[in-house]
Structures are given as structure tokens and as C-alpha cells.
Amino acid sequence: MNNPALDQLKQWQQQWQQAFQKEKARILVCAGTGCVANGSLQVYQALKQEVEARGEFVTVDLILEEEKSGVTVVKSGCHGFCEKGPLVRLEPSGVLYTKVKPEDAAEIVEALINNGEPVERLLYRHPVTGEVFAQENQIPFYRHQKRTSLLHCGVIDPENIREYIVDDGYQALIKAVTTMTPEEVCREILDSGLRGRGGGGFPTGRKWEFTRIEEGPKKYVICNGDEGDPGAFMDRSLLEGDPHRILEGMAIAGYAVGADEGYIYVRAEYPLAVERLKNAIAAAHEYGLLGQNILGTGFNFEIKIKEGAGAFVCGEETALIASIEGKRGMPSPKPPFPAQSGLWGKPTLINNVETFANVALIIRQGADWFRQFGTEKSPGTKTFAITGQVANTGLIEVPMGITLRDVVFEIGGGIRDGKKFKAVQIGGPSGGCLTEEHLDLKLDYDSLLSAGAMIGSGGLVVMDEDTCMVEVARFFMNFTQNESCGKCVPCREGTKRMLEILQRAVDGEGRPEDVELLQDLAEAVRDGSLCGLGKTAPNPVLTMLKYFKDEYIAHVVDKKCPAGVCSALKGYYIVPEECKGCSKCARSCPVQAISGEIKKPFTIDQDKCIKCGACVSTCPFKAIKEG
């Protein structure tokens, strides 16, 4: 069947493929936020200058215009292995260099152009075995992943629409618009089993169908990029590294539900993501892939960007809608749901960034293809931002159903400095703790709910034996209490009281009766709050009480912090047999809490001691102990 729109796309694809094939080699420099902060743009400039100095530098435009071949130097999105940035990958060899500095550029280019051996000192070295890996796909961090949403991140130039089109970009949109009905598109997404990747895990196809069947001349599509969890950067990396994938997914959704306008709600704290989105939208308009009558198909779709002010509560869909409308970001009761009455009272579809990143792949390759990954009830893959006391931190994508053990010890490389694994906080402030007994738990929606946790947006913080779980619970409660919009009493007042109790515990002023009170408050906030922020805010506390209750009791009854973290519960004493009476500790004490005679054991006045630890670091005989 004649399909002019698809023919046009494939014509561009073929033309640009021929250009890319004339590259002798390609140097990809990670230009995600993490690597940029570590100096990757300086690395990019140094590499470009070195290639230019050898007369080998080309761009795609030079190849197209002058039939010239050579080496391209490209800024890519996030490679994921943030712990080892700045990262530089060479194509077609797949060699990955880590912790690259501008002064390394000459050596890298020299080896590349002369087909020499890779620069060994820049290759990844396993922290335990010492094994050196040259190719990226051989490194354990990457080897155990399955990258579909992140397929282009670190592989293409996110600011060059031609690179996206060469890899079948926008073909799913044209396929949907020209060969499928809106009902068929919704059915394909539903059959794939794709569930919302923003945390709730609601079936995406069902949400699309709810919006599609609503009547009305105007509907909207919203991409929720309000990623506020501490330590989470999955959506940011997708927006920075593959913006056209998100635009295509939104446009397909617009066709499926009958919308001609979309908004991307993205944090203003993500300036690089905003900049690349604006560039991508402009490029898509230039090639007729957004706007009116897309590639002559008769389908219209516009996308606008709304920069959020950084309120965590705006991750909740009704609060997000209020923010776009220019109101204060506060949740509204449901029903009506956004699919019925959303933005400006019109039917509105809201999905998060990662959800939209899966859409084009499903439409292009089919629901059965998507279901080959993951589990029956949680198909596909999930991105996680793995941080904390783990050897390899960064952005990963794994099949649903992978075990926590594989994530922490295979991909993450285990706990730093040989420490013992203690727990993982999964799902950010809305999630909960998983302990050693959960290491073989499958990471999917249903398994995590049964353990009292949730996937959330995908933040995963690994903690070792030196972590105080009471302090962790206090940290997350402080975050959610500050981010509460204050609309409903259970969240506004309940989180405040819970924070007060946890603060008392870490300050050494906790009371035994606080254990039961904290449990009751957490359950009341969970059951009585209006929106998802309040309903999930107690999760870190509830899981702390479930799995680490003894640690909390130690704080409020024994007045001790088993992990030795809470300074108010620390105490220092001098071992008389080990003290030589040198007086160095007394001279270092800022509050004169230490006294004694020269050449005789000194003592610490516990009432005066402020537990600063200055005496410990000063004592040459290690006679001062903590306890």
C-alpha cells in the first residue's frame, strides 16, 4: 500500500545512513548532567581539537556535502556509569574509557587513528578482581542490563534528529497514524502489559482507553517529568539523552486518545533537559514530524514545555495539572480522574517520561516483543538510579523480575570498602526498605508491594552496616514534611508529628512510648491522606519499624545508636590503661571537658562533652573510645 509519509522517512533514513557509514570512527563523549559536572565538555573540546589537528575531523554535514570521510566527535546523552565519568566510548570498537581528563585526549586520538591498543590506564578495572575490561558490553555493570528505554542514551547525539531517524525514529508514529485506528493503538499498548513507570504501575493501555472514550472536541496529553525523589535521575537522563523518543511516544498517545496538544512538565532544575527538549521540538517541526498535518497524514500534534518550580507534590497528576494552569500545585480529590476532567476541565492523559519512552518500541515491534522481557504481570524493563554505598553508582535498566541481589552485587559491584550490606531504600520517600532477607526478592510491582515497598519512580539507595536506619527514616520524613502542600490535615499535621518523634530519637530525647505512637501516626497518615504523597510518606517509617525496630528501641530506650551515626547518642571515654597523660586531648577540647594531670590518666566530663570527636583524632595512643 502506498504510504508517502513512511516513504519520506525511509528516504531520509537511507540518505543519512550512507553518510554515517563513511565515518572511519566515532568518539562519543558523555554529555549527561553528571559527566558535564565532572568536566566532560572540556574533554569533548580537547578530543575535537586533537582530531582536527590531525586533519581527520568531520561532521555529518561535511560527509553529505563533500563526500568526505573521517572521525566524528559527538556529545551523547548519559552512558549510565556515572561513578566512572567522564566517559568516552569509541565506535565501532566499543572501547569505553573512564574518568577521562582533557590531557588524555592526545593519547586517545593517537591510539584510535593509528589502530593502536586501547589506553589501558583509562579502561575499567574491577575493584575486587582487578580484571581490566576494554569493551563496554563486557563490563559487569553493563553486561547484566537490558537497555530498551535507554537504548539511545550514550549512543546517539540527542541534538541531532537525523541520528534518531536513522535508527527507525518516528516510524512508529507514522505506522500508528497511517495503518492503525486509535482503538488498535490503545489495544496494542494494553496487550503489551506496559504499566506506568512513574510509581503506581497502573496499566498504561487502560488509562489510554479511558481517555479515548471520553467525548469532547479538545483533549490533552501530558508527560510528567517532575522527578523529585532524592537520588533519582532516570527521567532527566531520558529527556537529555533521547528527547525525540519522548516526543514520538507523546504524539502516538495523542493520536490514540484524540488529542492534538501535549505538555511536557519538567523541573526547571533540569536546564540541560529543557534545552535539548526545545531543540528536539524545533527540529521535529522543521522536518514536519510535529505540528499541523504531520508528513501529510492529516494528524496534528503540538508539544509545549512547562517548567515546574521544584515542588515534589507536583509529581501527583492533579497537582501537576493545577501547576500547568497557573495555580498553586495542590492535589484534588478523585474522581473525577484526569481522563474525565483534567487540564482546563478537558479529558487528559498523563504518563511519565519512561512510560512514553516505551511506546514507540511497542508500536513498531509489537506487544509480544515487549512481553519477552520481565514477568507476566510486570512485562518489560525498568530503569533505576542506583546510589549510596555501592561500588558502581549510576543509571541502569534491567528486566522486571531481576533480583535485588543481582542489582546490588552484580551490576552494582557490591558494597564499598568490604562493608556488609544492610538495606536498600527503594522508591524514594514513597518507598520502603528492603533488607538482607529480601536480596532474592524479584523487583516487580507485585513482589515489592508484598514486602511493603514499591518501585516508585526507580530510585534505589544502597546502605551498609554503618547506616543508621532511624536517621534514614528521619531524613525521608523531613523531605516529605517539607514537600507537603498542606491541603489535608493527616499529611500536614501527621508528617510533622512523625518528624518530631524521629528527631527526638536521633537527638537522644526519645521516649519508649514513642514506638507505639509512631506506628499509629504512620498508619493514620497512610489511610487518611488525600493524595499519593501523604499516603506513601509513612512507608520509610513503617518499614523501619518492621525490619529495624530493635534499632529504634535502642535509640529511645538505651539511648544508643547501634550504627554510631547519631552524634547526640555518642559518648567518649578514656581507657586509663592506654592513656599516657600527654594532655593533647585536653588541649584540643573546645569546651574544656577533659581534665587530668600530666603522666596520669585523663578523664572526660560527660556533662560538658559536646561529642565533637576532636579528642579522638588528636590522641596519639588511641586511648579514647566511643561507646
Residues 282-309: what's their mean pLDDT? 95
Query: What is the arithmetic mean of pLDDT over 538-558?
Result: 91
Cis link prior to 92 (omega < 30° from 0)? yes
How far is Cα 395 from Cα 235, in angstroms, rounded to an integer?
10
Q: Is the pLDDT of residue 411 over 90?
A: yes
Question: Could you give the CA distance from residue 322 to residue 330 in angstroms, rounded to a whole number?
Answer: 7
Write the pLDDT tens digit of every residue in 479-496. Answer: 999 888 888 899 999 999
Residue 1 pLDDT grade (very low, low, confident, very high; cuts 50, 70, 90):
low
- pLDDT greater than 90 at residue 534: no
Name the least confident of 44-48, 160-164, 424-428: 424-428
What is the structure's pLDDT at 371? Answer: 96
CB 163 within 8 A of CB 157: yes
CATH T-level assignment (fold) for domain 570-626: Alpha-Beta Plaits (3.30.70)
Question: 351 CB contacts (<8 Å, ≥6 apart)?
Answer: 196, 198, 204, 207, 222, 223, 224, 253
285: Cβ contacts below 8 Å, ≥ 6 apart: 291
* pLDDT (mean) for 392-412: 94
- Mean pLDDT along residues 67-93: 92
When pLDDT is averaged across residues 89-94 and rounded to a whole number, the result is 94
Domain residue ranges of the chain, discontinuous segments joined by +: 19-139, 161-371, 381-464, 469-558, 570-626
Work out the pLDDT band at 148, boundaries 50, 70, 90.
very high
Q: Determine the average pLDDT of the residues in 589-612.
A: 91
**Omega prior to 538 cis, within 30 of 0:** no
Average pLDDT over all residues of the chain: 92
Q: Give me the pLDDT at residue 344, please.
A: 96
- Pairwise CA distance, residues 172 & 11, whole Å: 16
Name the band, by pLDDT with cuts 50, 70 and 90, for residue 311.
Answer: confident
Q: Flag whether pLDDT at 66 surpasses 80.
A: no
Fold of 19-139: Glutaredoxin (3.40.30)
Specify the CATH architecture of the domain 161-371: 3-Layer(aba) Sandwich (3.40)
Query: Does position 473 have pLDDT exceeding 80, yes or no?
Result: yes
- Answer whether 0.85 is exceeded by the pTM: yes
| 228 has a pLDDT exceeding 80 | no
pLDDT for res 39 = 95
pLDDT of 59 = 85
User: What separation in angstroms does the CA of 27 have from each of 195, 197, 507?
Assistant: 36, 32, 52
Instruction: Give, in order, the Cα–Cα distances in Å from 10 to each of 1, 5, 6.
Output: 15, 9, 6
Q: What CATH number should be reported for the domain whose range is 381-464?
A: 3.10.20.600
Task: Evaluate whether the domain defined by 469-558 bears CATH number 1.20.1440.230.
Answer: yes
Q: pLDDT tens digits, residue range 97-131?
A: 999 999 999 999 999 998 889 999 999 998 878 89
* pLDDT above 70: residue 259: yes
Number of alpha carbons in the 13 Å side-chain half-sphere of residue 279:
17
Q: Could you tell me which residue, 1 or 369, shows the higher pLDDT?
A: 369
* pLDDT > 80? residue 288: yes
